[in-house]
Amino acid sequence: MTQTAPNEPSQWRWLPKRTLALGVGLLVLSFVCRWFLGRAQRACERVSDQCADAGFAWEAIAALAFAGAAMAVLIALLFIIFRLLRPMGHLV
């Protein structure tokens, strides 16, 4: 196991960037699924009056993707905050 010097860049510097990228990707996926949900609901309304479950799968995927995006952004922000507070001696 190797030790890093205090002035040496951290091995985990890539983590907040990739976590933010994952969050943005999941947010885009959420918007795309919401768009498909709207299309499914409009198509169902043209054909029938009973469209309670039209596009439920798109809605579920969109909700999960949005929740994942929110968690990824929060995790990235926590890493950034901890990295900024570490030189001050707080939250080591």
pTM, rounded to two decimals: 0.74
Judge residue 62's burial from the number of C-beta atoms within 10 Å of its C-beta, 0-12 exposed, 13-18 middle, 19 or more buried: buried
CA of residue 45 relative to chain centroid, distance? 31
Residue 21 in tokens: 């990228």
pLDDT of the chain, 92 residues: tens digit per residue: 556 555 545 566 777 888 889 999 999 999 999 999 999 888 888 888 777 787 899 999 999 999 999 999 999 898 888 888 777 775 55
